[in-house]
Amino acid sequence: MILPKQDKYDVTIIGGGWAGQALARQLHRRMPKLQILVLDGSRSFGWKVGEATVDLCAHYLIQRLGLSTYLYRNHLPKNGLRFFFNDEKASRPLPEVSEVGSTFLPPTPTFQLNRQRFDSDLRQMNVDAGIECLLGIVCQNVKLGENGEPHAIYCRDDESQDRWFQTRWLVDASGRRRFLGRKLGLHSEDNVRRHCAVWGRFKGTADMDALGDDAWRKRVSYTARFLSTVHFAGWGYWIWFIPLSDNLMSVGVVSSKEMVEQPPIKKEEFLAFVRNHCAAKQVLGNGELVDFMAYPQLAYRCHTLYSADRWAATGFAGMFQDPYWSLGGDTISLGNDYITDLVEKDLIERVPRQLIKTVAAQYNSSMQRFYDRTKVWMDGAYASMGSFNLFSIRYVYELCIYYLDYVWSFMCKEHLAEKSAERTRLADHFFELEIMLRDQIEEAVVAALKNGLYYADNASGSFAGVANFVSPFIFQIGQAGLWSWRFEMMLKIWLFIYLKITETKLGFRSLAEREVVQDILTLPRILELHPIGPKDQDWLMSELSKTIASRLEAEFGVRPSLAVSADHLAGDRIVLRNLSSKATSPELSAKMQARCDELWSRKRSYDQLPNQMQQLFRAFRNRGPMIGPPAPSKTGYQGEKLAAGPG
Amino acid sequence: MSEDGAQQLEQLLESTRRILGHDDVTPESSLEAIGIDSLNIVELMIAYDLIYPGITNPDEVRFSGHTTMLEMHTQLYRLSNKENSA
């Protein structure tokens, strides 16, 4: 092969989509003297998928890339996640269905990205900054250098000319093409969610905020619902509506292939599916489809993302989990931070290769843990996707942990710091708790389908806001030095949500908030009895009886006869019996009953729970370290299709 | 104090400094004075667990705000060696 041109770069990025362009911009801002090359195989900017962003990604775009002004001028601000449920046939119209979402624009910014504009604007900014961005150059082969020698990349341009480049660092940002991944065998589909997706952009959809009456608009403090990533959620699927600038609406359907009988994958199936959903059809209105795409299998893993041999992968070329929670942008943000740090340590600080190896291993491990933890979330989410009762409380848990753990950590750059043994141990214990919660959710879904609570509140016009859950901490987000406090909050919210899921599993509605229940179902107890279920109900009722009786005895000197029953658990009052046979006066009986009522009705929100960390440490100390990655989700739902989706 | 005992005391002081984020930790410092509270105590307990292996029952470790680092070390060392020699 005769090669006409040869150039040498410090970092070459294969792929000019947002992951690759963002990395180029970040590297250039951080290390202005670096010679950077971005190679993209195409010349035009089509519609890429991945429009919604969440807070970690938005922080990356604003703080690392300095794009705040640009984003507000060219893209829409996002009003958080919003979920609408429906009956089993998806037959109810929008204002009637139950909803989960925010009542104010979240204090931390996020955006809905118009990808056609975003990718091409990023590229233009890079070109203006003097970064070499070549279009129409397809990479065909790479020869990775050994012993610190540069890599050689062999390409062909769109005039069929062969070109090759030398580079010290090579970053694969080639999207689902996965250029390096295919060459090095980096990817696998072991233990991933099996989901497919179809989507397209529409022009002229209906005005969502005008579809209900004034009372319906007032429910969200008149804030724009349409700015949210709207999810029409059902059994094993959800339909997204993401607003874009230029009067466009992105609409997509994500389906679990294990739960949805005929998941839509073709254009006609896509349109039929959305139109079959009463509320989604209303929002679609007379929208005209502008473009269409489908992926039959979304998720895959990558065993090595960063190498001391001076290569890395970012964006889709690395790993992908799921569109739910819009974590693609977060994955790019974390990954680009890791790659930038490795390049800086290697080329600028010139740390020894052994140290690069250690740091790369730490970053690889962090991304694997990120994938594993978010997979556990996906398991719980898709299991409960069609149920307002179960999903809303689970979503609140995710939102709080997302802020307290992932976003806060990213803002404080904890992910780039050396991990202490102590915090690693606590983080491992928390991961075990998350797996337990996932398992409890899956069991609760099966129970709720039987006891009726699964669909019970889907079309009752109920509303679950998130404000009360995030208000204890949201305005401190990003403050350094609060790791222990944050971890305590995470444990408390975990505990509270586990109890809420458990109450639904048992068929009750308000046990978790009751102080006297919280005093019995402590963290060590839960670890002992998990998964808490009908097998524990008799014990729980007996413990409640003993606890209340003891407290009344301590105060009044008389021990009442008390047997908490299932009816009591479902109700607001525990009636004390046989007080007169204990030779108590009517006044005393009345006082004791009043006190009993007060004890039963006393409630505590999660942030008022006592501190948990010591309990956690002690309880886990005897269980030993967690071994290996978490087991896949137990329930496959193949046999549990008690209620199908629409159509 | 034995040689490995001295080494463990030094490790105790070092990891306490690291977790608390300041250098003002000596054998005579009391827990209260150096800023140990109900939040960071757990990270410290895990660190001590790693330095004094084999303590099966963490409830046996008794301390208050007035306990000094040296007193902590003496307790942990004794409990750890008692387990190991049993």
pLDDT confidence tier of residue A629, bands split at 50, 70 and 90:
low
Please give the pLDDT value at position A577. Answer: 77
Q: Do B46 and A617 touch (CB under 8 A)?
A: yes
Over range A498-512, report the average pLDDT.
95
Contact A28, A128 (CB under 8 A): no
C-alpha span between A39 and A160 (Å, rounded): 15
A12-21, A162-171, B61-70: range with lowest mean pLDDT: B61-70
Of B2 and B19, the one with more pLDDT = B19
How far, CA to CA in Å, does A264 sit from each of A271, A274, A277, A313, A558?
Answer: 9, 10, 13, 31, 66
Find which of B12, B37, B46 to mutate to test the A interface (most A CBs within 10 Å of its CB).
Answer: B46
Burial class for A485, CB neighbours closer than 10 Å (0-12, 13-18, 19+):
middle
Question: Token pair 């489809």 is at which residue?
Answer: A289
pLDDT in tens, B11-70: 999 999 999 989 999 999 999 999 988 888 889 888 988 899 888 777 778 888 899 999
pLDDT at residue A645 tops 70: no
Q: What percent of chain A has pLDDT above 90?
A: 85
Residue A64 DSSP code: I
Tell me, what's the pLDDT at A279? Answer: 98
pLDDT given at position A370: 97
Output the pLDDT for position A638. 33
Cα distance between residue A228 and residue B51, in whole Å = 50
- Is the complex ipTM higher than 0.85? yes
The answer on pLDDT for A627 being more than 60 is no
Beta-strand relationship, A162-172 and A151-157: antiparallel
B 44-83: CB under 8 A from A: 44-47, 49-50, 58-59
Q: Quick one: tokens of A537? A: 């109900």
Flag whether pLDDT at A5 surpasses 50.
no
Per-chain mean pLDDT for chain A: 92
Q: How many CA atoms lie within 13 A of A222 on its CB side?
A: 1
- Binned at pLDDT 50, 70 and 90, residue A513 comes out as very high
User: Between chains, do B43 and A420 touch, taking CB under 8 Å as contact?
Assistant: yes
Stated pTM of the model? 0.93
pLDDT at A153: 96
State the SS3 of A35-50: CEEEECCCCCCCCCCC
**Smallest CA–CA separation between A393 and chain B, in Å?**
27
Residue A644 has pLDDT above 70, yes or no: no
Identify any residues that bridge with A12 across adjacent strands, giving them in sequence order.
A37, A170
Q: Which residue of A has its CA nearest to B37?
A: A484
The pLDDT, as a whole number, for residue A583 is 60
Which residue in A423, A429, A484, A620 has the most chain B C-beta atoms within 10 A of its own C-beta, making it the best mutation to test that interface? A484
Residue keyed to tokens 């944050």? A486
Cα gap A199→A640, rounded to integer Å: 27
pLDDT digits (tens, 9 = 90+) for A336-380: 999 999 999 999 999 999 999 999 999 999 999 999 999 999 999
- Per residue, the 3-state secondary structure of A476-524, as one string, reads HCCCCCCHHHHHHHHHHHHHHHHHHHHHHHHCCCCCCCEHHHHHHCCHH
- Residue A416: both structure tokens together: 């780039």
Name the token pair of A279. 């509320």
pLDDT at A625: 52
pLDDT of residue A581: 56
* Residue pLDDT, tens place only, A118-143: 999 999 999 999 999 999 999 999 99
Give the mean pLDDT of B68-85.
86
Mean pLDDT over A514-530 rounds to 95
Q: How high is the pLDDT of residue A141?
A: 96
Range 2-31 of B in CB contact (< 8 A) with A: 18-19, 21
Task: Give residue B72's region: left, alpha or beta (phi > 0; psi -120 to 50).
Answer: alpha
Substitution target from A418, A419, A420, A422 for chain B, most B beta carbons within 10 A: A422
pLDDT at A34 over 70: yes
Select the residue of B39, B45, B49 nearest A485 (Cβ to Cβ): B39
Instruction: Reduce the DSSP state of residue A170 to 3 states and report it.
Output: strand
Percent of chain A with pLDDT over 70: 94
Residue A45, min C-alpha distance to chain B (Å): 49
State both tokens at B85: 């020699």
Query: Which chain B residues contact residue A485 at CB under 8 A?
Result: 39
For A239-268, what is the mean pLDDT? 96
Count how many pairs of residues, chain A against chain B, have C-beta atoms within 8 Å. 42
Determine the angle formed by the axes of helices A353-384 and A388-401, rounding to 10 degrees: 160
